[in-house]
Amino acid sequence: MTSVLRHHRYGRALGTGAITVALLTGGTAAAFAAPTPTPSPTPTGTATTTPSPMRTRTAPTPTRTERPRVNRTETPRPTRTVTRGSITVSTREATVRRGRAVAFTGRVRDVRAGTTLVLQRRVNGRWSTLRTTALVNRNGTFTIRRTFTARGTETVRVVTRDGRVQSAAITVRVS
């Protein structure tokens, strides 16, 4: 308890408050040794306590929350997710006529040159792989050309053939 009063902020405040109260109420050690209140009988039969004139109310001392113990034999969890690479893709045409080719160009990072990239499109909430492919150039760029025959909105993305690295989705309107 002495170390709590000496080293913690709440303990210091509690100790300072107790000393201040003792000095203001009489300054003797008898202020701390006041007798405990005794219950007195009441007409209804319930017991009540009569407070001592020397006793003061103090705030409850906060309790320390204990940290969970860590088992040192466990393997540590990684603190961040490691990405294996990234693909960025864009197109000049937001809208294209039916039957015309759309060029999807982009850049890869942490993907080897010569890696095969595949174009996927979203159909009924699922990604469907198309037969359109391209290879990553030595400088990390690629171009994929695709001709859309159906009218509507096409949502596509570029993925490595093994599916580990993929780009964000891009939307093209076919009219």
Q: 76-109 pLDDT, tens per residue?
A: 555 554 457 899 999 998 999 999 999 999 999 9
φ/ψ bin of 114: left (φ > 0), alpha (ψ from -120 to 50), beta (otherwise): left
% the chain with pLDDT above 90? 49
Domain boundaries, the chain: 2-49, 86-174
Does 39 score more than 90 pLDDT?
A: no
Whether the pTM exceeds 0.75: the reply is no
CATH of span 86-174: 2.60.40.10
CA 130/CA 119 separation, integer angstroms: 6
pLDDT reported for residue 12 = 72
CA 77/CA 99 separation, integer angstroms: 51
CA 101/CA 124 separation, integer angstroms: 23
